[in-house]
């Protein structure tokens, strides 16, 4: 779906009592920097950052009215620096900046904004990478907890961040990465 239709598709369809929003589109735009062209960066930025902004502009009034919560998605690659991740890491780095800036800007309206920074997880998006047993085993070993993530790992954190149980949490980038970003 094109970005211009994502946000316009929400017009008039955001429930007045909306209290939470998660923007979790994704792609794995991996390639060596020497092969990346400016269009790769622009397309990735458009999907991850501009898309989030467009949808946020539509849901913002309801969130401000209701004191809501926003969850965006970054990547462990922003903090760690992996080869072939220049394109996606630059967009996800912008998500981290957007998260903190919006947390500050929307806090007076009691709107919380946080981001989840997962590592590779079992998903349709990662299937081409993780379907190769030797690659999946190597990636599992790169995580201190000895496995790749599951969608439920990030979903559970998103659920918490969107709930009232996280009413004192805003402006945070929280890793869901099996310790990859913090444990040697």
pLDDT score, position 1: 44
Residue 11 lies in a domain: no
Instruction: Return the structure tokens found at 108.
Output: 């007076």
What is the C-alpha separation between 33 and 53, in angstroms, rounded? 26
pLDDT score, position 140: 92
Residue 24 lies in a domain: yes
Residue 90 lies in a domain: yes
Residue 102 lies in a domain: yes
Alpha helices in 81-150 (DSSP H): 86-106, 127-130, 133-141
pLDDT score, position 125: 87
**Containing structural domain, residue 134:** 19-176
User: Residue 74 is part of a domain; what is its CATH number?
Assistant: 3.40.50.720
Residue 12 lies in a domain: no
| Residues 6 or more apart in contact with residue 139 via CB below 8 angstroms | 120, 129, 130, 148
Residue 10 lies in a domain: no
Q: Is the pLDDT of residue 48 over 70?
A: yes
Per-residue model confidence as pLDDT tens digits over 4-25: 555 666 666 888 899 999 999 9
H/E run at residue 117: strand 112-118
Residue 95 lies in a domain: yes
Per-residue model confidence as pLDDT tens digits over 125-175: 888 889 999 999 999 999 989 999 999 999 999 999 999 999 999 999 999
pLDDT score, position 71: 99
Per-residue model confidence as pLDDT tens digits over 69-119: 999 999 999 999 899 999 999 999 999 999 999 999 999 999 999 999 999
Give the total number of structural domains in the chain: 1
pLDDT score, position 93: 98
Q: What is the arithmetic mean of pLDDT over 20-44?
A: 93
Residue 40 lies in a domain: yes
Chain-centroid distance, C-alpha 139: 20
Q: What is the CA radius of gyration of the chain?
A: 17
Q: Indicate the pLDDT class of residue 3, thresholds 50, 70 and 90.
A: low
């Amino acid at each position: 779906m094109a970005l211009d239709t994502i946000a316009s598709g929400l017009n008039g369809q955001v429930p007045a009592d909306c209290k939470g929003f998660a923007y979790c589109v994704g792609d794995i735009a991996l390639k060596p920097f020497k092969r990346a062209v400016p269009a790769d960066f622009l397309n990735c930025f458009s999907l991850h950052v501009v898309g989030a902004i467009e949808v946020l502009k539509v849901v913002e009034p309801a969130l401000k009215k209701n004191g809501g919560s926003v969850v965006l998605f970054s990547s462990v690659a922003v903090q760690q620096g992996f080869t072939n991740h220049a394109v996606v890491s630059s967009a996800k780095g912008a998500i981290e900046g957007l998260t903190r800036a919006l947390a500050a800007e929307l806090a007076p309206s009691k709107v919380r904004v946080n981001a989840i920074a997962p590592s590779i997880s079992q998903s349709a998006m990662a299937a081409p990478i993780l379907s190769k047993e030797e690659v999946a085993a190597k990636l599992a070993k790169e995580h201190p907890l000895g496995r790749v993530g599951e969608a439920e790992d990030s979903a559970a954190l998103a659920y918490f961040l969107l709930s009232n149980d996280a009413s004192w949490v805003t402006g945070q980038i929280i890793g869901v990465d099996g310790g990859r970003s913090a444990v040697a």
